[in-house]
């Protein structure tokens, strides 16, 4: 019993499209346990989803998308296009040019970036982009790239604050993130309401970690496995995944996480490399593909929703993929030791660039260039069926990306299947950490509190794998965007503090007070 209202016309399409992922002919699930979980889940979360994705009055434009765009634009302008001014310095920081050799053995800028990236690079880059392009048309890619470029400024702001206002404990451990900078930063500036806002963020962060960071991943991983081995009840996959996640986050079996964390970057490079090869193989169509992307961005090329539809999809999927403005990266980066909080901001602004501007664009280009989206030969326009573009073989989600890669490199779908499962796993591990930090903010630091969250997290792995994609993807999106609502309010209030840090650092950099070590 799903409570879809008119607002979720796009979500419905999204659900309908994405439900049939890799191998589109998934038969209806027979398991009654799965159905029970699904029904309960959809009916309890519907109101929250409806609120977050409510359209602006009189339009079909969700207010949350406008919120994210405005936030990123404000931060870009406030810091004078910081993302383009400091990128060279960012790369030097990552390379270790400014790292004091005396600090060797501490987490390096490179490691901080890699850890944060392994939390964001994942299904959003593979499945999310396919959803965006099949609903919004190739033009969605343009808006996705723009959202990625603007998001760099949001990421810069939140990660700087994350390091600056973290909590350090006597045993050397650190807790940081939006809940800490909102509380401390607001108090410092004498703005009331910091505590309440921080609690709200922490609640949403727990939900986001259980939703997008857990259930969505478990769900997609199950779809992948079911696609390879044939359909079977989702809770079985869920239990297997839950046991592995349990072993890592509760049992302290770090070796598993360490192995996946080493394979994930390799998978990312393999993915981009293959995409680049496919694009180059079709070099004669590169110009045409970019033409489609630009034309589609402003005209919609006759796709449902036109330009606005492309824009909504592009921005939505970009935010879901690179998490800029969401606040999760601030939690990941805050554990890093650095004398200058702003350097963590400089490094983190590379994340939306790598995640969205590079990797997501690769996915979109491959889908467009391999001509997976069907064009009516008579009119030259895309064939739109039930709100999304018809694809060769009727695929969508991961399946569409898989088919696009498979049309050029026949064995790649198998690699992709493994990659999706690993990406899902590494994203789950990262989000279990984010959720835990929010949880301990709410309930206090302590072994008991930590264990209770970790057990809850494992339970949601099972629920996520068993539930249908529709309600899961809606709830996941909603929880993560709810984090962004609170976080961006916090960022607006704390902009002057970041500005002060930035000006001070840049002037010391120019004067030579901050110098290279090699």
Nearer to another protein, 139 or 208 (CB): 208
Residue partners of 444: CB distance under 8 A and separation at least 6: none
Report in angstroms how near the CB of residue 283 gets to another protein at its nearest: 33
Nearer to another protein, 107 or 375 (CB): 107
Three-state DSSP at 382 gives: strand
Which element (helix H / strand E) includes 384? strand 384-385
Three-state DSSP at 38 gives: helix
Report in angstroms how near the CB of residue 105 gets to another protein at its nearest: 3
Nearer to another protein, 173 or 504 (CB): 173
Nearer to another protein, 301 or 329 (CB): 329
Report in angstroms how near the CB of residue 406 gets to another protein at its nearest: 29
Three-state DSSP at 373 gives: strand
Q: Are β-strands 174-175 and 388-389 bridged in parallel, bridged antiparallel, or unpaired? A: unpaired
Report in angstroms how near the CB of residue 110 gets to another protein at its nearest: 5
Three-state DSSP at 232 gives: coil
Question: Distance (Å, rounded) from C-alpha 75 to C-alpha 147?
Answer: 13
Report in angstroms how near the CB of residue 125 gets to another protein at its nearest: 18
Return the bridge partners of 391, or none: 373
Question: Distance (Å, rounded) from C-alpha 365 to C-alpha 57?
Answer: 34
Nearer to another protein, 184 or 437 (CB): 437
Question: Distance (Å, rounded) from C-alpha 176 to C-alpha 19?
Answer: 36
End-to-end CA distance of the chain: 63
Nearer to another protein, 54 or 174 (CB): 174
Which element (helix H / strand E) includes 265? helix 254-281
For 114-125, b/e burial (b = at least 16 CB within 10 A) is ebbbbbbbbbbb
List of residues contacting another protein (CB under 8 A): 96, 99, 101, 104-108, 110-112, 114-115, 118-119, 171-174, 254, 257-258, 261-262, 264-265, 332, 335-337, 429-430, 433-434
Report in angstroms how near the CB of residue 504 gets to another protein at its nearest: 24
Nearer to another protein, 101 or 192 (CB): 101
Report in angstroms how near the CB of residue 129 gets to another protein at its nearest: 24
Q: Evaluate whether 314 touches 85 at the Cβ level (below 8 Å).
A: no
């Amino acid at each position: 019993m799903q409570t879809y209202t008119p607002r979720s016309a796009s979500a419905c399409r999204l659900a309908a499209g994405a439900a049939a992922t890799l191998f589109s002919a998934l038969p209806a699930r027979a398991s009654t346990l799965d159905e029970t979980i699904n029904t309960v889940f959809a009916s309890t979360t519907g109101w929250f989803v409806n609120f977050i994705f409510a359209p602006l009055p009189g339009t079909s434009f969700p207010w949350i998308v406008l919120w994210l765009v405005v936030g990123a634009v404000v931060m870009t302008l406030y810091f004078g296009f910081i993302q383009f001014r400091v990128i060279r310095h960012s790369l030097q920081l990552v390379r270790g040019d400014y790292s004091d050799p005396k600090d060797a053995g501490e987490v390096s800028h490179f490691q901080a970036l890699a850890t944060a990236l392994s939390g964001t690079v994942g299904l959003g880059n593979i499945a999310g982009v396919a959803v965006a392009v099949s609903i919004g048309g190739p033009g969605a890619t343009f808006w996705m790239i723009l959202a990625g470029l603007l998001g760099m400024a949001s990421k810069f702001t939140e990660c700087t604050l994350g390091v600056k206002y973290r909590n350090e404990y006597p045993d050397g451990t650190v807790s940081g993130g939006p809940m800490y900078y909102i509380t401390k930063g607001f108090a410092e500036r004498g703005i009331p309401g910091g505590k309440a806002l921080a609690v709200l963020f922490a609640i949403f962060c727990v939900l986001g970690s259980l939703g997008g960071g857990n259930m969505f991943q478990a769900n997609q991983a199950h779809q992948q496995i079911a696609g390879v081995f044939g359909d079977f009840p989702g809770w079985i996959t869920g239990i297997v995944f839950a046991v592995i996640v349990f072993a890592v986050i509760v049992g302290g079996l770090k070796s598993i996480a360490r192995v996946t964390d080493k394979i994930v970057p390799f998978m990312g490079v393999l993915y981009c490399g293959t995409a680049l090869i496919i694009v180059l193989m079709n070099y004669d169509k590169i110009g045409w593909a970019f033409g489609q992307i630009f034309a589609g961005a402003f005209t919609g090329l006759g796709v449902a929703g036109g330009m606005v539809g492309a824009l909504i999809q592009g921005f939505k999927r970009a935010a879901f993929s690179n998490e800029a403005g969401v606040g999760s990266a601030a939690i990941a980066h805050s554990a890093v030791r650095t004398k200058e909080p702003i350097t963590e901001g400089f490094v983190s602004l590379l994340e939306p660039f790598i995640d969205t501007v590079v990797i997501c664009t690769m996915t979109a280009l491959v889908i467009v260039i391999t001509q997976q989206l069907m064009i009516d030969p008579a009119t030259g326009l895309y064939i739109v069926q039930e709100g999304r573009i018809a694809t060769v073989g009727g695929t969508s989600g991961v399946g569409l990306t898989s088919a696009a890669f498979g049309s050029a490199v026949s064995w790649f779908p198998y690699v992709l299947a493994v990659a999706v499962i690993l990406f899902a796993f590494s994203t789950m591990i990262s989000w279990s950490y984010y959720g835990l930090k929010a949880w301990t903010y709410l309930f206090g630091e302590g072994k008991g509190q930590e264990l209770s969250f970790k057990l809850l997290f494992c339970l949601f792995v099972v629920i996520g794998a068993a539930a249908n994609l529709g309600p899961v993807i809606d709830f996941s999106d909603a929880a993560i965007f709810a984090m962004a609502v609170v976080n961006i309010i916090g960022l607006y209030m704390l902009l002057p503090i970041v500005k002060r840090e930035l000006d001070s650092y840049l002037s010391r950099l120019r004067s030579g007070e901050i110098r290279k070590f090699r």
